[in-house]
């Protein structure tokens, strides 16, 4: 089984395989429209598409990733967008990193696929970093995408929105969205490809 570790991601970024980055994800754009800008943590931020988009809307964003190459590109893109003052880029491996508790108005993570064995633990630590009244937003490939994604075709990496929601401490969270959301992806040949995102959006009480 492939280990999707720092070396694997660095190798991908080194070869320019960053087709998912550079623009905000649909889920982020839709699900943050009703939020008042504050502090945000983008976990597995890659080259910063989501974080920079948030910064452009007034959020103060910390982007975290285990690829230093991706973080360097994110910082350069933020500077080019004149948003360096609203962004901080931090190297960390979320499988071991504990973010500061109750610190962010929004904690978001897009297409960071943690193997099932560590997923709940990572999610619990990310959830703990949300300030009371703040929002946790997770989007990743729905298990129904198993046949379409080009990498990470390991069922162990996939979870439904409901499975993600089940990892949150009961009573502490109001789950607003836990679903499979259809999306049009792109095939290698550039054709539309029906896909779905597993989405979790929850508010900390
Ligand atoms: C598919 S990319 C998504 C990037 C970005 N969120 C987006 O949607 O464009 C997944 C990102 O998660 C990062 N990543 C993977 N495992 C990680 C870990 N354990 N800790 C921190 N970042 C990780 C990778 O380096 C990569 O940048």
CATH number (domain holding residue 164): 3.40.50.150
Q: What is the pLDDT of residues 101-117, one digit of tens each?
A: 999 999 999 999 999 99
Mutate to test the pocket of ligand 1, among 10, 32, 65, 145 (most ligand atoms within 8 A of CB): 65
49 Cβ closer than 6 Å to some ligand 1 atom: yes
Scanning the structure block, which residue is given the tokens 């999707």?
A: 4
Asked whether residue 11 is assigned to any structural domain, the reply reads yes
Q: What is the pLDDT of residues 137-194, one digit of tens each?
A: 999 999 998 877 765 578 899 999 999 999 998 899 999 999 999 999 887 778 888 9
Asked whether residue 153 is assigned to any structural domain, the reply reads yes
Q: What is the mean pLDDT of residues 93-97?
A: 96
44 Cβ closer than 6 Å to some ligand 1 atom: yes
Domain interval for residue 78: 6-204
Asked whether residue 1 is assigned to any structural domain, the reply reads no
Asked whether residue 66 is assigned to any structural domain, the reply reads yes
125 phi/psi in degrees, rounded to 5: -70, -35
CA 44 to ligand 1 center in whole angstroms: 3
48 Cβ closer than 6 Å to some ligand 1 atom: no
Asked whether residue 29 is assigned to any structural domain, the reply reads yes
Q: What is the pLDDT of residue 16?
A: 75
Asked whether residue 189 is assigned to any structural domain, the reply reads yes
User: How many domains does the structure of the chain reveal?
Assistant: 1
Asked whether residue 30 is assigned to any structural domain, the reply reads yes
5 Cβ closer than 6 Å to some ligand 1 atom: no
Residue with the smallest CA separation from ligand 1 atom 20 is 93
Contacts by 184-189 with C-beta closer than 8 Å and gap 24+? 185/148, 188/150
Asked whether residue 172 is assigned to any structural domain, the reply reads yes
Distance CA(173)–CA(171), nearest Å, equals 6
The pTM assigned to this predicted structure is 0.95
């Amino acid at each position: 089984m492939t280990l999707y570790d720092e070396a694997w991601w660095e190798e991908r970024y080194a070869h320019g395989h960053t087709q998912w980055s550079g623009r905000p994800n649909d889920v982020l754009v839709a699900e943050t429209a009703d939020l008042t800008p504050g502090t945000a943590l983008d976990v597995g931020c890659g080259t910063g598409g989501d974080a920079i988009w948030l910064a452009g809307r007034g959020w103060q964003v910390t982007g975290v990733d285990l690829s230093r190459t991706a973080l360097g590109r994110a910082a350069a893109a933020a500077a080019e967008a004149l948003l360096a003052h609203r962004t901080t880029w931090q190297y960390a491996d979320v499988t071991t990193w504990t973010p500061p508790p109750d610190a962010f108005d929004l904690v978001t993570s897009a297409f960071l696929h943690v193997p099932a064995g560590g997923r709940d633990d990572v999610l619990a630590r990310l959830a703990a970093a949300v300030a009371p009244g703040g929002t946790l937003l997770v989007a990743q490939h729905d298990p129904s995408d198993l046949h379409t994604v080009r990498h990470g075709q390991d069922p162990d990496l996939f979870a439904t929105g409901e499975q993600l929601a089940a990892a949150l401490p009961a009573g502490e969270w109001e789950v607003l969205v836990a679903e499979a959301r259809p999306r049009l992806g792109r095939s290698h040949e550039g054709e539309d490809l029906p896909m779905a995102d597993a989405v979790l959006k929850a508010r900390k009480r």
